Structure 1
Amino acid sequence: MMLRHIVLGFLLSSRAFGLIAPLTNPGGETDIANLVSHVTLLEQLVQKLQADQTSTTTQMVATQSQLKGATAELNTVKTELHAAQAELGVVKFQLSKLPTSIELKDLVTKLHSTASALNVTNQDLASVKQTVSSIAQNNEVAAYEVRLSAQIRPALNTVIKFDDVQYNHGGGFNATTGVFTAPLAGTYILWANMVAYDYSDSLGISLYKGVERIARAWGENPSSEKNEDDTVILTVVYLDVGDQTWYIRDAGTALIEGDYSSYGGALLQAHS
């Protein structure tokens, strides 16, 4: 259809009129020879236009294909660019969280300081153990007993601390921490009598040697008719110099009655 329009426009143009006008002779009759020549020229022109249109169409199809390919590549590049931008944002965030060289130096200094403090603490602890041991070895006696002057309700899984120290030969008991540190190696007898006070309540206690539980006891007031019950531990254990023991409340919510509760220990036989 486009080719027909091109040919028709050409024939109607001044150029085509110039070709067709001379096709008549002076007498007004059609010059057949010239007409045939012009028709031949027009056919050649049409063929050329058709060839040009075919070539142009082919080039347009190829160009469209290239444009599609370029568009696909552009979309791929955009996707990769967005991914790279996201990764860059993550890296920037991670870098912002890294300590600076100055902060690293401060951290190293603090670590060295902490290590030095730990060494001093370990040395102090060893010195205390040695002092306790040397004091007790003068007569090879180590014993303590501590009582409770008023009711207390220790929290679960905390060391039970009584405040009224009755006896502390050898200096092994620390009233502040509630911990007994053996000044001599040997066989010890350890005991506790803690009165659970409260209606319909209970008290569970455990004796620890370091991280090991070596004894346990339970006292319970099962009804409103009874408001006190003894929770008793009595055991014999070997302790080396520096071994530590303490009591933990591990069950119940009953009060521990003052005046009637105590715990302690004594060296039965020293071991060299």
Structure 2
Amino acid sequence: MSEQTMNQSRIERCFAELKAANRAGLVTFISAGDPDYDNSLNTLLALPDAGADIIELGMPFTDPMADGSSIQKSSLRALTAGQNMQKTLAMVRALREKDQDTPLVLMGYYNPIYCMGVETFLKQASEAGVDGLIVVDLPPEHDDELCMPAREYNIHFIRLATPTTDAKRLPLVLENTSGFLYYVSSTGVTGAAAPTPEKVQAEVEAIRAHTDIPIGVGFGIRTPEQAARIARFADGVVVGSALTDCIENAASPAEGTQAVADLVSALSGAIKKARD
């Protein structure tokens, strides 16, 4: 292994390997602690083997304003079961005991991080094995709050772009973004109806003219067929609400874990064949 490869972050290494294999990656989201700590941990540990290339782990919050009904309910189930930031970081440590390769990104809102203390959070997150952060309510104007300090701990700050991110604002969004850019393919909350792949592709290509950072596309992708269509042009396909639905609709927590693993496996299989 070259020194350059050794110095790459897990996220950078993952996207380099995906590019070499000429395929998109599958980025999966679950809420930490949904429906409870033990079963959520079982689901988290099952994701890499099922085919997840990158994991987004939601930090439950009482007011998830950018999330749709499914993820809001998953966050509430977790909080009701006693999930907190320390337990979320404990889940990351448990994953790293078994898996040193799969990138893990914590996704959520600034309030729980602020309440814990930014330096304390970043130190513990780095030590636990967190690779990146998506904090949806911290715009670029507030990069000094968390984005720049995260760099000191080698934690990527992954920004969101949307169809309403115009050419004037895009450079600001991209300026300190690292790891990958999460392109929210539809306006509104998570889990909303998916736009046409042709429209999303045109929007992604317009962003590519301004950056060489990998672009993951999400919001509204629920089926292997939809994932495959996005995988033909995106660097990553992000699926969240469809997975939290699996947990909500399962007859038991164990069946929820299995349903998540089965869907992830189907999504992964479709994505791997998308460019054949």
Shorter-chain TM-score: which interval? Answer: under 0.3
Larger relative contact order (CA 8 Å, sep ≥ 6): 2
Structure with greater strand percent: 1
More helix as a share of residues: 2
Using the size of structure 2 for normalisation, the TM-score is 0.21
In the superposition, the TM-score normalised over structure 1's length comes to 0.21
